[in-house]
Chain A
């Protein structure tokens, strides 16, 4: 079966495009870095791809708010293409700046479970960390096992780095959160690694640096109501191999004992990308 074609956006200050393409390729995807303007100008069509990734970076320098200017370009120029992409059941991931872009275009969290397809209305935001600082540090995440998110199936907990200055997830009211929670869309949360695996998730704000940014309800990532569109601030692609985990010289880097691509060295982050590739193959 042909490998699922993955469009990895780049240009205008996106800067995790190389590694994001690489991790899809490691798990059987056929990833291509495509400049945003190639879609906007119609040189290329999103229809030709089965997965879309919006990688991390500093699109337009994050001036006027992270992800906003790239989000605007996509919201105004790619509205129909993006709507059709989700309607066709194709997965989208936004990582870090990509998550910010998806939130500012309104793709995340999206409307509601009854009318799940994109309406491009912004309902949430990612704002400056409470610390006021951009930081690169490792965090521990847990995932909602009941989430419709196709990206996180079967994953309980991973360690990976956050690298952002604007990762605090906010929504205007608690009812907004409750609605998302009811639909299990609060997919990824920062957790205290000393808690037993599977018991880390809590709505009560965790102290810095367990929660690196003061995110409401410790939210690290959310999905839309279809479960196809997923965004998160931390970088799972940055721990595709155990040798990238800070504990690897301590011989205690977590991850699967074996894998077909990296032997005993596969890192915890790779499964997220494998899930999407397998989802596409399973739904052909």
Chain B
């Protein structure tokens, strides 16, 4: 084999730009305030093939470079060419991948390579690796090459080769070499002796990244002492009295917190020190989530499938059902923000594809929680700066979503210091499927039978992604393994999605699920419960590199794979379809009804576990929970001096600039939110298309205005006072956002995604009882509000170890519930957006403002600045949700009736911020009077975040009808939209705020625009 180097660089000249170089230059300016004169870029390819270098050189313009815009050199570094690089640079940095890391451009180049050398006999053994070189000119003093390189790569997955100024003057250029994978040695299955003392059981679990506790290890130990088990094992020729490494790994994956949700399933002894309550809760999940949803399922006919599948399915109309799932990818995103987030979004897409007999992903949602992007404080070891996490995560979901052709229609970005320790990366996907397939089967029901052939479809299995499920069940440390990090390959997945949906419609699929956490062990293991058994041959599994051991093949979480079962008579058609789509599909197992999870490697049995033990053998955790109300210092705004002249005006501009409130447009605009030609309400709305959208609205069937609403709510600040209030606020916000778009409140469903810090009391977590009590309270509020709103939780997920470090340096995230809502919108021609539409529009408050400033955004802002001493006080509560929902129904139907085209949720920053955002969206002014909105203080009525409130705009000619429509519901006339281009808010005769709309636009848009412009 020969390695041929091909380099490509943009042509210089009139109208031509080196855009990749410009992006690096702008980001150095934007993130670090470093001004570099010029950055140029070179793309490199290292082609490992049996072709002569001259053969490749003749065809470079057919593949590697675009002759209109690029120059290319074969086997020579551009940097050594004085023709192309006449000036000596100040630094040159080359970034390439580490061996074995997914190199998508390299794979694409290889595909193209086969197209241009179609008849070459050696084409199939070639492989191509890619790199980028950045060349810096006019670098300020004191900027070291090493530091520059560190900003350009993540050494967990990439390599950097550098040349500083001295090396550049000497012509010592960075020449990166081909990343040869180290050979893997296949280890035969090992006997794992569990007849050892308890301490050794614990250390075996820890050193092996098994994340199993002592009781679980002992449960496994005793399983292998069972005589019947030993006899059965002897009969199939596997070690009788101890697990193999394959079995132990398989059990660890299947029993992981990630897969089994052991805390939500635990038996909790709960004490409330305030009320004296002392009770046992047997599974939060069954009690507070499953039971209410199942109760509701008896009342409605549209809840088709809840909890047991990869996502929850509701009937949307006669012909179509829709489903939704949201996941988190927090730990991988902390280690490699780009790859971690990308695998998050493409992973949850597969949950949709793996729902029923296969649903088509049609919309994504992304919600992120980060540390402050302008953080100047200390950073713990091994953690990236929040701005870097932000950029990387954003890029990952952008590439993952855009390349998959799935619009990102809704999301949020939340900031808090504590997310520095662990960013939260929530990725959600909505899917659609025909209620009935052409062959008459209902699409939401899987139909496997014993004897069906089980295929692995899509990507191959590699060393990447080993231990993802167990790793995410541990806290992040400096030693966290790089194999838990992967980069997604959206195109491989897109080909697979196209093929799977064709196979579904052709009736070829009897069962399908995603390969995510736990890999084949989970996917085949879970599907095997339908027929009560399976037999897998790991030797048949196609590998990225030879030499993987049996346990690695079984648990690897390599991406882009589905597990699909096909009837033996349909296999030929399935194979042909895979071939047409150039998708790898390999039969690796058969469903049986033996009751056993039987894994072979060729002829040898390497795992033999009963389905019952595998799935139901994990012992229930017994946990302690104790609630005491936090008592942070009170927020006392009355003591804050206000300018005589300007009143609250400066506060409004500062609030609009708060990262939690500021516009995220420059980030969100980089997501494709309109592919599929269905997005009716886009993430940004209004006359300049830059006002905030409350919820996504789509009309997925072309030509038909029947719609779907997708929204979310998240309020982690409130956990500082009461995680129960936090949960209620999140749900209420999600529903209110959906109401603003005209959702049918009688046909909506929700997803609960809990991200919590470790809540099991231990040396590492001395406050575990309190954190668990927070979880109990959150779930109790979830049940109470969802029952009142008749809002079923159809699918949820929890991530329970969101901490960094230990002891003094431990950082735990604030308990965070993301609540997502999706539901029916009867006719998208009648919906509303937040922007004021025209002068003369009447502004109404729907809902009641109360004395609830505790943990409000204004309290946090003034505490952070030192103007206030605390954030404590009354947190917003939802005392009568059954009344709220009637108001929501009235407002939503008013929108559906065409009475209201302007509606905005009132949350962070209260009425002041909501009104400001509506002026921004319409580029209009408004005169608003908050007198008459209740008995609360001025601060509460202006900035308070009481739940259940909206601001709406009503055209004068519709005002009388609107008042009649809302009879019996709390509405207050606040004022009128004006073309004066300023917002005034008064309290009777007292003017509180008077700010130009242009100033509000500037304040709101500036903070998070980290693009560095276009110059």
Contacts and interface: CB of A to CB of B under 8 A. Distances in A.
Interface in B113-135: 115-116, 118
B68 A243 contact: no
A88 B901 CA distance: 50
B581 to A, nearest CB: 6
A216 B675 CA distance: 26
Given A124-B68, A136-B672, A243-B828, A11 B1014 contact: no
B699 A243 contact: yes
A11 B502 CA distance: 12
Contact of A246 (B490, B685, B703, B902): B685
A142 to B, nearest CB: 20
Nearest to A250: B837
Interface in B272-295: none
A68 interface: yes
Contacts of A10: 498
Contacts of B686: 246
B679 interface: yes
A137 B689 contact: yes
Given A130-B17, A265-B705, A18 B68 contact: no
Contacts of A124: 68
Interface string B558-583: 00000000000000000000001110
B405 A57 contact: yes
Interface in A157-189: 161, 163, 170-172
A43 B902 CA distance: 53
Given A60-B491, A72-B62, A261-B703, A37 B581 contact: yes
A131 interface: yes
Contact of A240 (B23, B581, B702): B702
A22 to B, nearest CB: 4
A30 interface: no
A80 to B, nearest CB: 16
A249 B68 contact: no
Given A19-B702, A138-B689, A249-B685, A11 B108 contact: no
A138 B1011 CA distance: 19
A58 to B, nearest CB: 4
Contacts of A35: 498, 580-581
B669 A135 contact: yes
B671 interface: yes
A246 B682 CA distance: 7
Contacts of A130: 17, 19, 22, 1014
Contacts of A62: 403
Interface in A216-263: 216, 235, 237-241, 243-244, 246-251, 261-262
Given A11-B495, A13-B494, A249-B901, A125 B69 contact: yes
A18 B494 contact: no
Nearest to B62: A72
B676 interface: yes
B355 interface: no
Given A58-B402, A60-B108, A72-B115, A26 B703 contact: yes
A119 to B, nearest CB: 16
Residue among B15, B494, B674, B703 with max Cβ neighbours from chain A (10 Å): B674
Given A18-B676, A26-B702, A244-B679, A41 B580 contact: yes
Nearest to B687: A250
A170 to B, nearest CB: 6
B404 interface: yes
Interface in B801-846: 828-829, 831-833, 835, 837
B63 A72 contact: yes
B1011 A56 contact: no
A262 B832 CA distance: 21
Interface residues of B, number: 73
B68 A172 contact: yes
A249 B19 CA distance: 37
A64 B112 contact: yes
A14 to B, nearest CB: 8
B532 to A, nearest CB: 38
Contacts of A171: 68
Contacts of B118: 76
Contacts of B16: 170
A172 B13 CA distance: 10
Contacts of B112: 60, 64, 68-69, 72
Contacts of B166: none
Interface of B is mostly: loop
B156 interface: no
A122 interface: yes
B20 A134 contact: no
Contacts, number: 204
Interface in A30-61: 35, 37-38, 41, 43, 56-58, 60-61
A79 interface: no
A14 B581 CA distance: 12
B116 to A, nearest CB: 7
A104 B69 CA distance: 12
Contact of B669 (A65, A72, A137, A238): A137
A262 B704 CA distance: 9
A251 B901 contact: yes
Nearest to A236: B677
Contact of A135 (B64, B670, B699): B670
A250 to B, nearest CB: 6
Interface string B650-677: 0000000000000000000111111111
Contact of B68 (A38, A123, A136, A265): A123
Contact of B19 (A57, A72, A127, A235): A127
Contact of A58 (B490, B673, B677, B829): B490
A74 B22 CA distance: 33
Contact of B832 (A134, A240, A249): A249
Contacts of B687: 247, 250
Nearest to A38: B580
A158 to B, nearest CB: 14
A136 B673 contact: yes
Interface string B491-517: 100110010000000000000000000
Contacts of B495: 11-13
B715 interface: no
A130 B670 CA distance: 14
Given A125-B66, A163-B675, A265-B705, A11 B581 contact: yes
A248 B832 CA distance: 9
B116 A72 contact: yes
A251 B674 CA distance: 20
B9 to A, nearest CB: 13
A129 interface: yes
B18 to A, nearest CB: 9
A161 B402 contact: no
A64 B108 contact: yes
Contact of B705 (A68, A122, A243): A243
A156 interface: no
Contact of A60 (B68, B111, B672): B111
Contacts of A15: 404-406, 494, 675
Return the 10 tightest CB-CB contacts between A and B, nearest first.
A15-B405, A63-B108, A22-B702, A19-B677, A128-B19, A125-B68, A132-B23, A63-B105, A58-B403, A61-B491
Interface of B: 10, 15-17, 19-20, 22-23, 26, 62-64, 66-69, 104-105, 107-109, 111-112, 115-116, 118, 398, 402-406, 490-491, 494-495, 498, 580-582, 669-682, 685-687, 689, 699, 702-703, 705, 828-829, 831-833, 835, 837, 901-902, 1011, 1014
19 contacts: A11-B495, A19-B702, A22-B703, A58-B494, A72-B62, A125-B68, A127-B10, A128-B17, A131-B1011, A132-B22, A133-B670, A138-B689, A235-B674, A238-B674, A243-B705, A246-B686, A249-B835, A249-B901, A262-B703
Given A63-B108, A235-B677, 19 more contacts: A10-B498, A18-B702, A35-B498, A64-B63, A69-B111, A72-B63, A76-B115, A76-B116, A122-B66, A124-B68, A125-B66, A125-B68, A127-B69, A132-B23, A136-B670, A161-B674, A163-B672, A216-B15, A243-B680
